[in-house]
Structure 1
Amino acid sequence: MRSKSIAWRLALAFAMVCALVLSAIGVFLYRSLASELAFRDDMALLGRLEQVRALLADSDSLDALQARPRLYQNMLGNRDSLLLVRRADGSSVIAINPRQRELPALNALPREQMPQRRDVLTWQASDGAELALLSGQAQGPNGERLTVIAGKVLSEREQMLGSYRLRLYLSVGLGALLAFALGLLLLRRGLQPLRQLSEAVRSIDLRSLDRRLPVEGTPTELREPVHALNAMLARLDDSVQRLSQFSADLAHEIRTPLHTLLASNGQALNHPRSTAEYQEVLASNMEEFERLKRMAENLMFLARAEQAERALNLQTLSLQNVGDELCDYFEPLADDRGLQLQNHMHGELLADQQLLQRALGNLLANAVRHADPGTLISLQRRDAPGMCWLQVHNHGPIIPPEHLGKLFDRFYRVDPSRAEPGDSGGLGLAIVQSIMQLHGGEVRVRSDAAGTLFELGFGTRR
């Protein structure tokens, strides 16, 4: 809808601003013109009073002045001006008042006083006309005391100002309309790159997430949003790729136990077996079911962790006790492999006890599974500025550098052929990473001739 269009709103705002600016300029010019016209009329009256005073003083006689009334009418030049010269007894010497308007009583300026603009009186006649009047004393040729009244009807000024106001209203209206039309045209041209950007975004779907929005030729104001959109597309592409890979890995992981179950059950049904053999088949099936159950539980945990649905139960934990409990739990498995467990963790840490035990337990299970027989697996603590690092170190095969960055991916195994029935289905290290993300920490790994070292980093400034 047009009412929701940015271009229409901005064009309307631009038109309103132009109308306000034009109105302000028009008011200023109108007031300037009115002031200038008032100044011109007032100065004309002041000059007329002085001229009449000089004319009266230089004349031969008042009778000679009375004999030439048309001369004074021509001198005034129009029917909107009036001139009265009166004797002390009130009789008229000169009486030019075309519409015979009644005039108010005026205080005449002394003859020796120079008239000023403040002496001009504005008066409204009975017919509604507005007049500017000025009165002053004068002296006749024979020393007579006279009173001069000069006046001007202001209708011409009002007509001129009225015509100017009308032109001003039309100019402001037409200017606003023109500003709106030009603003709308310019805005539509200016928003063309945005429409092109919208077309480019519309053309990207799930099968073309590898495409990116063009940056070249994009206006400066839109480059930051374009970069943000491209970064979002990159994240979406990476997430979709990982989801696709996850789906493929999940299908592969589930297919193996399902194939095993189908094969064993098929053989058991095709050939008569003894009770002991059936029990052996069921026991084998239970191992596969346990594997599927662990996989489902791990996937459920990862899903909840990624959605931040699991609330942390933070508490101050004794790392010595946590390490001792884990070593006691894994000691039978370590003895079977000829391994020795040592706990050197100390101090306290603010963390979720169950999640910390699960993360360290997954690292210990991984270390016990891959450590060389007769070697030592140690739990240690290392403090750094603002961080507390919990370390699990074991001696075993060196992990190639190209695998280190993928160890925490789901279902990733350095050597798939070494998968064992009791493993986590390739989800153990992914769970460790999710636990550390919930704690706002990080996990890293290093593998060289000195052994393989996993580190869990917890921030100590909370």
Structure 2
Amino acid sequence: MSKSIAWRLALAIALTCALVLSVIGVFLYRSLASELAFRDDQALLGRLEQVRALLHDSDSLEALQERPRLYQNMLGNLDSVLLVNREDGSPLIAINPHQQALAHVQPIAQAQAPRRSDIKTADATVLLAGMAQGPAGETLSVTVGKRLDEREQMLASYRMRLYGAVGLGALMAFGLGLLLLRRGLTPLRELAHAMAGIDPRSLDQRMAADNVPAELKEPVQALNAMLARLEDSFARLSQFSADLAHEIRTPLHNLLGSNSLALNQSRSPAEYQEVLASNIEEYERLNRMAENLMFLARAEHGQRPLQLQVLDLREVGDGLCDYFEALAEDRQLQLDNQLSGPLMADQQLLQRALGNLLANAVRHAQPGSTVRLLRRDDAEYCWTGVHNLGPAIDPQHIDKLFDRFYRVDPSRAQPGDSGGLGLAIVHSIMQLHGGQVRVVSDASGTLFELGFARDHR
């Protein structure tokens, strides 16, 4: 459950709501506390002025002492404090319902109007003191105050309500968020259910992208693209397995047949040597096929690291021409190396790729013609190619030339060829280099080109 996206998002929503409600609650709490303090302070300021006026307008201090209800009614509750002292400090009026010890507050002058800054807070009580004049001009000191118990109780109650509101709001946000998220994630569950029904026999199925939410359109499209690639790869793998079985069956059939004939009757040593020589040719064919397949597997899985270096194409071309010179002479062909300039590439892989192209060119070129190694540059690539004169390749074969075991004319397969893997190896080598390979074939001949990005030069 802790890994559920819906639960995590619902919890995040709840925490966010709790944070927002907490900020709002703090603001409201502080606003209320400030408003209550302001009102209490204003009432205290007015009370000092009223007591001052009462003392000044009274007939005598004795009359005030005899009629305390005048100022007791004015105070109005048990949390209020009123002390009136004579100049010598003796009390004239003392109203202190809780009989608490009051802190000393410096009184303001008689002629000075009280301000909020004159109010002091001590022992959960706000106090304000000021000088006043009695009926006979006597100097008096007046202290008015109010206990904060009622205000604190009100704020404590308000705080508890805020805590409850924040907690309840967070729980409601979590519950509603979880409910809405689970409903919102329904398309994902439907998508997962549809994906669960896809197996190797139904790779042609695609996810419907029309009725999914906008946020899922790109993932669904990417999933469909992946399914298309898987379908294509699976089809290629199936075809590769069939082609591999076919290619291996031929030499194995030849080996079984020749060995069976050799064992059916006694033969001379020369005849046995001929059978062994024929078997060696088939073994070499199988060995080349295994090596080529191993190279392709390593190249596709990135297990063949590149050893890039600056190569002199002229030297590379001369070495290939020397290697294929004898085969070219047997077929009455001329080799023309027109490669030149530097190229950043893996020397062994470049030689293998150009060697495979040159072997194909020599094999299919018209007798008496010239096979050329060419180079040209454009804005993005350095192109090295092999051109030969011969029958044009049918356009229907062009896109399949680099598939494994594909041959334009299987009947022309020869014991020394690459087993239909030569061009596939060329394609893998160019993929390792981050380049590309292409072929153009028409009445003027056939040209295979290897494109190396110019930043590899």
Bigger shift: 437-446 or 52-61?
Answer: 52-61
CA distance in 2, matches of 1:245, 1:274: 43
Q: CA deviation at 1:249?
A: 0.6
Superposed CA offset, 1:208-259 (max 9, x none): 2222222223222232222222222222222111111000011111122222
Given residue 43 of structure 2, which amino acid in structure 1 is its aligned partner?
A
CA contact (8 A) 1:65 1:93 kept: no
- Tell me the distance in 2 between the aligned counterparts of 1:102 and 1:347: 105
2: distance between equivalents of 1:428 and 1:195?
A: 47
Per-residue deviation, 1:283: 3.3
Question: Residues 319, 57 of structure 1: CA spacing in aligned structure 2 closer, same or farther, 3 A cutoff?
Answer: closer
Q: 2:165 aligns with which of 168, 171, 175?
A: 171
Shift of 1:272: 5.0
Q: Closer, same or farther in 2 for the Cα pair 1:387/1:107, shift >3 Å?
A: closer
Partner-residue secondary structure (3-state), 2:303: coil
Residue type of the alignment partner of 1:28: F
Query: Which residue number in structure 1 is paired with residue 343 of structure 2?
Result: 349
Q: How does 1:10-25 map to 2 (within 5 A)?
A: 10-25=9-24
The aligned residue for residue 374 of structure 1 is 368
Amino acid at match of 1:110: A
Say yes or no: does 1:319 pair with 2:313: yes
1:52-201 superposed matches below 5 A: 52-124=51-123, 130-201=124-195
Compare 264-273 and 188-197 and name the one that shifted more. Answer: 264-273
Q: Does 1:252 align with 2:246?
A: yes
Compared CA separation, residues 207 and 56, structure 1 to 2 (3 A):
same
Look up the match of 1:48: 47
SS across alignment from 1:341: strand
Post-superposition shift, 1:165?
Answer: 1.8
Question: 1:127 aligns to what?
Answer: none
Give distance in 2, aligned partners of 1:221 and 1:269.
72
CA distance in 1, matches of 2:238, 2:217: 31
Structure 1 residues 452 and 52, CA gap change in structure 2 (3 angstroms): same
Equivalent runs, 1:155-304 vs 2, <5 Å:
155-271=149-265, 273-304=267-298
Following superposition, the deviation at residue 395 of structure 1 comes to: 0.9
Q: Percent identity?
A: 72
Q: Structure 1, residues 270-299: CA drift from partner, whole Å, max 9, x if none?
A: 455555444444333333222222222221
Q: Which residue, out of 430, 440, 461, partners 2:455?
A: 461
Give the Cα–Cα distance (whole angstroms) in 1 for the partners of residues 412 and 349 of structure 2. 27
CA-CA distance at 1:393 after TM superposition: 1.0
Q: Which moved more, 1:101-110 or 1:353-362?
A: 101-110
Q: Which moved more, 1:278-287 or 1:210-219?
A: 278-287
Aligned residues: 456
State the alpha-carbon separation in 2 of the partners of residues 412 and 238 from structure 1.
16
Deviates more, 1:295-304 or 1:51-60: 51-60
Tell me, what secondary structure is at the counterpart of 2:2?
Answer: helix
**TM-score, normalising length: structure 2:** 0.92
Q: In the TM superposition, what is the alpha-carbon distance from 1:93 to its structure 2 partner?
A: 4.2
User: Does the C-alpha gap of structure 1 residues 242 and 94 become closer, same or farther in structure 2, counting only changes over 3 Å?
Assistant: same
Counterpart residue number, 1:358: 352
Distance 2:62 2:46 in 1: 24
Contact 1:396/1:452 (8 A) holds in 2: yes
| Structure 1 residue 424, shift from structure 2 partner | 1.5
Cα deviation for residue 153 of structure 1 reads 1.8
CA RMSD of aligned residues (A): 2.2
Q: Which moved more, 1:136-145 or 1:433-442?
A: 136-145
Q: Structure 1 55/377 Cα, relative in aligned 2: closer, same or farther at 3 Å?
A: same
Partner residue, 2:389: 395
* Uncovered stretches (5+) of structure 1, i.e. residues with no partner: 125-129
3-state DSSP of counterpart to 1:267:
helix
Task: Sort the Cα spacing of 1:330 and 1:99 in 2 relative to 1 into closer, same or farther, 3 A.
Answer: closer
Distance 1:91 1:268, change over 3 A: closer
Which residue type is aligned with residue 453 of structure 1? L
CA spacing shift, 1:136–1:282, aligned 2, 3 Å? closer
Tell me by how many angstroms 1:120 deviates.
1.7
Larger CA deviation: 215-224 vs 360-369 = 215-224
AA paired with 1:191?
L
Query: Which residue is equivalent to 1:435?
Result: 429
Q: Distance in 1 between matches of 2:400 and 2:2?
A: 53
